[in-house]
Amino acid sequence: LQIFLGALAFSFFAKGFSGSYMKSMSSQIERRFEISSSIVGIIDGSFEIGNLMVMVLVSYLGPRVHRPKVIAVGCLIMSLGAFLSVMPQFLMGRYNYERITVTVDNSSTSVSACSPASSEGHSVTDTTETPSSMKDFGCEKTTNSYLWLFVLMGNLLRGIGEAPVMPLGVSYIDDFSKEENSAFYIGLVRSSGMFGPTLGFLLGSFCASLWVDIGVVDIDAISINPKDTRWVGAWWLGLLICGAVNFIASLPFWFLPYSLPKEGENENLKISHLAIQGDHCKIDPPPQPHIYLSIADFFPALKKLFGNPIFLVYIFLTILQYNSLVGLITYETKFMEQQFNVAVARAIFLIGVILLPITILGMFLGGFLIKKFKLHITEMAKFACITFIVAYLLNLLYFTCSCEVLQVAGLTATYSGLKPLSSSKTSFMASCNAECSCKLDQWDPVCGDNGITYMTACFAGCKSSVGTGKNMVFHNCSCVEGRGHGLGNSSAVLGQCQRESCTKAFPYFLALQTACAFILALGGTPTYMIMFRSVSPDLKSFAVGIETLGGRILGGLPAPIYFGALIDETCLKWGTKNCGGSGSCRVYDTKAFR
Residue ranges of the alpha helices (H) in 399-488? 478-481
Q: How confident is the model at residue 90 (pLDDT cuts 50, 70, 90)?
A: confident
Q: What global pTM score does this model have? A: 0.77
Question: Taking 50 as the threshold, does the pLDDT of residue 69 lie above it?
Answer: yes
- pLDDT band with cut points at 50, 70 and 90 for residue 105: low
Q: Is the pLDDT of residue 568 over 70?
A: yes
Section 11-22 average pLDDT? 92
For 237, which DSSP code? H
Which tens digit of pLDDT belongs to each residue from 168-214? 888 888 788 877 777 778 778 877 887 898 899 999 999 988 888 88
**Residue 565, exposed/middle/buried by CB under 10 A (0-12, 13-18, 19+)?**
middle
Residue 294 binned pLDDT confidence (cut-offs 50, 70, 90): low
| pLDDT given at position 133 | 39
pLDDT band at 302, cuts 50/70/90? confident
Q: Can you give the pLDDT at residue 547?
A: 84
Please give the pLDDT value at position 33. Answer: 86
Cβ atoms of 543 and 556 within 8 Å: the answer is no
The predicted-structure confidence for 428-439, as pLDDT tens digits, reads as follows 677 777 777 777
Q: What is the mean pLDDT of residues 542-567?
A: 87
Q: How far is the C-alpha of 525 from the C-alpha of 190, rounded, in Å?
A: 13
CB 32, CB 211: distance < 8 Å: no
| CATH code given to domain 1-103+144-262 | 1.20.1250.20
- What pLDDT shows up at residue 282? 39
Mean of pLDDT over the chain: 79
State which of 316-330, 450-464, 543-557, 567-581 shows the largest mean pLDDT: 316-330
Query: How sure is the predictor about 140, in pLDDT bands with cuts at 50, 70 and 90?
Result: very low
Q: Where do the structural domains in the chain lie, given as residue ranges?
A: 1-103+144-262, 300-403+502-555, 407-498
* CA end-to-end distance (rounded Å), the chain: 50
Over the stretch 17-68, which tens digit does the pLDDT of each residue have?
999 999 888 888 888 888 888 888 999 889 988 988 888 777 777 667 888 9
The SS3 call for residue 101 is strand
| pLDDT score for 244 | 96
pLDDT(242) > 90: yes
pLDDT the model gives residue 225: 79
Highest mean pLDDT among 49-53, 157-161, 577-581: 157-161
Burial zone of 426 (CB within 10 Å; 0-12 exposed, 13-18 middle, 19+ buried): exposed
Total Cβ atoms within 10 A of residue 136:
11
Mind listing the pLDDT tens digit for each residue in 387-434?
999 999 998 988 887 777 888 887 777 776 555 545 454 566 777 777
CA 265 and chain centroid, separation:
46
Q: Judge whether residue 247 has pLDDT over 90.
A: yes
What whole-number percentage of the chain has pLDDT above 90? Answer: 22
- As a whole number, mean pLDDT of residues 353-379 equals 86
Residue 525: the pLDDT is 79
- Check whether 278 has a pLDDT greater than 50: no
pLDDT at 132 (0 to 100): 38
pLDDT value at position 406? 81
Cα 333 to its chain centre, rounded Å, is 8
pLDDT computed for residue 116 by the predictor = 61
Ramachandran angles phi, psi of 483, nearest 5°: -105, 25
* Banded pLDDT at 534 (limits 50, 70, 90): confident
DSSP line for 166-185: HHHHHHHHHHHS-HHHHHHH
Residues 6+ apart with CB under 8 A from 255: none
Distance CA 259, CA 152 (A): 36
What local confidence, expressed as pLDDT, does residue 285 receive? 44
Q: What's the confidence (pLDDT) of residue 238?
A: 93
The C-alpha atoms of residue 583 and residue 39 are separated, in whole angstroms, by 11
